[in-house]
Structure 1
Amino acid sequence: MAGELKTERLSLRPWRLDDAEAALPIYSASNVARWLSPAMDSVPDVDAMRLVLQQWIAEDARLPAPAGRWAVERSDDGELIGGAVLLPLPPRGEDLEMGWQLHPDVWGQGYAAEAGRAVARWAFDQGWDEVLAVARPTNARAQATARRIGMEWVGETEKYYDLRLQVFRLRPADLV
C-alpha cells in the first residue's frame, strides 16, 4: 500500500472514495483522458469516478512496495490537482512505470515533474535501480516532463500495452 509522500509544494497521499468529485474534472478532461492507458477511458460522472477510485484503492492494497497510486494535492491549499502512479508494466510486471495525470489548469507549473521525482525517489529508496515512463509518440508534454525529471530516452517499443510507445528511463544517479 502506498504511503504519503511529501515534496516542497505537494502532498502525494493514498486515494479516498470522497475524492471522487475533485478527481472527476481531472479524469474526465479530454486532454488528460486521451493519454491514459487503453484500459481507462474518460470518466463520465461522479459515480463512475467513485467506482474507479474504489478499484484503485483495492488494487493499491494488493500491490507490493514500492508500487502504488497517489492523489496529488497542493500543500498550501490542499486542492486535489491530479494523480501519480508507480505500477508494474504489463505484460509481465518486471518493469516499473511511473506516471502522472494533472488537471489542465495546473499544467506548466512543474507539478508533474515534482510528483514524478517523488515517486521515483520512493522507488529508489525501496531498492529499485530504475523506473520507466512510457508515452505515446505524440504526447510531447509527457516526454518533456520525463526529460525535466532527468529521464533518458531509450527508444520505442510495442512491448507495453500493445501500443507503440516512447520509453524513458531514470536511475538513481540521474534524478535531478
Structure 2
Amino acid sequence: MTIFETERLVVREWTESPGDLERAYDIYRRPETNRWLQAPNLPLTAPEEAAVMLRRWHDRFAAYGGRYGLWAIEVRESGLVVGTVMIKPLPGPDESVLTDDIEVGWHLHPDAQGKGYATEAAGAAMRREFAAGTAAIFAVVAPGNTASMAVARRLGMTPVGLHSDWYGGKELETFVATARDFARG
C-alpha cells in the first residue's frame, strides 16, 4: 500500500515479498546502518529475521490506520528500495510505552546515502503529519551521527540539544520542527 509519493520516491508499506525481505535484511544487517540505531534485535543476523522485524513494525502501528509507521522508500524510476522513513510516536523512558511526541526518522542503505532521498522522504512525511494536525515533530539522533544531523537541518528542524526523554533515557541530539515554522520554510 502506498503511503505517499514525491517526485522521485514512492513511500509504501514494507511487504513480506522476497524482494522486500531481501532488501530489509541487507539494510539492517549492515554495521554502517546499525551503528547509530542501538536498537534491540539489530543488527539482523539471519535473513528470516527481516520478516519478524517487518511484522513487528506493522503490528505496532496497525491500529493507527496508516498514519504512523516505518515505511519503505522506493525509487520510482528503478523500483529499488533504498531505506526506511518513519513517522511515529516516540517511545518514552520505558520503551514499551509510546509518548505523545511524534518522531520523524530515516534509515538508508549505505549505497543510497548522499542522494537526497532521506530529506525528500522525511520532508514529505512531515508535511503529511502536519496536515493531520500535529503541532511539532522531533528528530532524535545519536551523538556523532553528523549525516543524520545534516538531514534534520536540511529539513529546517531546529537543534535543541541533548535530551533523554525517549528511547529508554538515552541521550540523543534532538531537533524539532513546528507546523507553523515548517509551513513558512
Alignment match of 1:110 (pick from 116, 127, 134): 116
Give the corresponding residue for 1:67: 68
**1:61-81: CA deviations, max 9, x gaps?**
123663222111001111011
Give the corresponding residue for 2:166: 160
Give the corresponding residue for 1:145: 151
**1:111-165: CA deviations, max 9, x gaps?**
0101110110111111001100001111111101100111110121111112111
Once the two structures are superposed, the pairs formed by residues 1-176 of structure 1 within 5 Å of their partners are: 4-18=3-17, 19-63=20-64, 66-91=67-92, 92-161=98-167, 162-175=169-182, 176=185
TM-score of the superposed pair, with normalisation by structure 1: 0.92
Q: Tell me, what secondary structure is at the counterpart of 1:17?
A: coil
**Structure 1 residue 45: Cα displacement:** 2.0
Does structure 2 retain, via aligned residues, the 8 Å contact 1:16–1:57? Answer: no
1: distance between equivalents of 2:66 and 2:101?
13
TM-score of the superposed pair, with normalisation by structure 2: 0.88
Q: Which structure has greater strand proportion?
A: 2
Q: Tell me, what secondary structure is at the counterpart of 2:114?
A: coil
Does structure 2 retain, via aligned residues, the 8 Å contact 1:133–1:169? Answer: yes
1: distance between equivalents of 2:74 and 2:61?
18
Does structure 2 retain, via aligned residues, the 8 Å contact 1:83–1:102? Answer: yes
Does structure 2 retain, via aligned residues, the 8 Å contact 1:97–1:132? Answer: yes
CA 84–37 in structure 1, closer or farther in 2 if over 3 Å, else same: farther
The answer to which of 56-65 and 103-112 deviates more is 56-65
**Structure 1 residue 17: Cα displacement:** 1.0
Please, which runs of 5 or more residues in structure 1 have no aligned partner?
none
Q: Tell me, what secondary structure is at the counterpart of 2:91?
A: coil
Superposition RMSD on alpha carbons, in Å?
1.6
Please, which runs of 5 or more residues in structure 2 have no aligned partner?
93-97
CA 131–64 in structure 1, closer or farther in 2 if over 3 Å, else same: farther
Q: Percent identity between the aligned chains?
A: 34
Q: Tell me, what secondary structure is at the counterpart of 2:99?
A: coil
**1:17-61: CA deviations, max 9, x gaps?**
111112111111111111124334111121001111111122231
1: distance between equivalents of 2:156 and 2:99?
23
